[in-house]
Structure 1
Amino acid sequence: MTADEQPTVPTELDRAGREAVRELAEREPATLRAVSSYLEDLAGWKTQHDDETDVEADDGDPDAYPDGVPERATVSVTEIGDTEYTYYQWREGDEIRSRTDQR
């Protein structure tokens, strides 16, 4: 990349990440520097606390979802004691549905 070329969006990002990066591309340089600093701090924190944080599923492999859970569901994985649990949450109309499975 030369100094005159705009950086390209990383190909490793999922759909939400690409949308976030495209949105940020429209912001002022000072905002981008503040966000960059925050993201560096967040990445360092997540690296130290990786085993404690919930993991959200990416845009989803439908086979990864159990029967009755739509692929648009948000997925969190948490460990309590020595047991991992997968928590699914989604909206059906005005209601929020959820399901928890032991891994």
Structure 2
Amino acid sequence: DREIQNYNVAYFMASTDTLEDNTGFAEKNGATFPILADPNKTMCEAYGVLSPHGYASRWTFYIDKEGVIQKIDKQVNAREAGKQLVENMDALRFPRAT
């Protein structure tokens, strides 16, 4: 999370869980980023990430400042997600914070 803050980007996690469940998850895991609660699955359906089991697939969308999706990472490893984010943002030449 700390390395991600070196970039001039906004990031958040989306989940089909309720706001209460997401708040508990954030507290338990020390999450310092926003978590979007999508219990109605509207956003998940719009982005095509809703699994057949009814939960959000663990994908990362890299969207540039013009709103264009530059990459969709469908192979996210929860333990390595922060490292993967930094590597992909570097490869995509996302701007670093000044």
* Superposition TM-score, scaled by structure 1 size: 0.24
* Superposition TM-score, scaled by structure 2 size: 0.25
> Of the two, which has the highest radius of gyration?
1
RCO comparison, higher one (Cα < 8 Å, 6+): 2
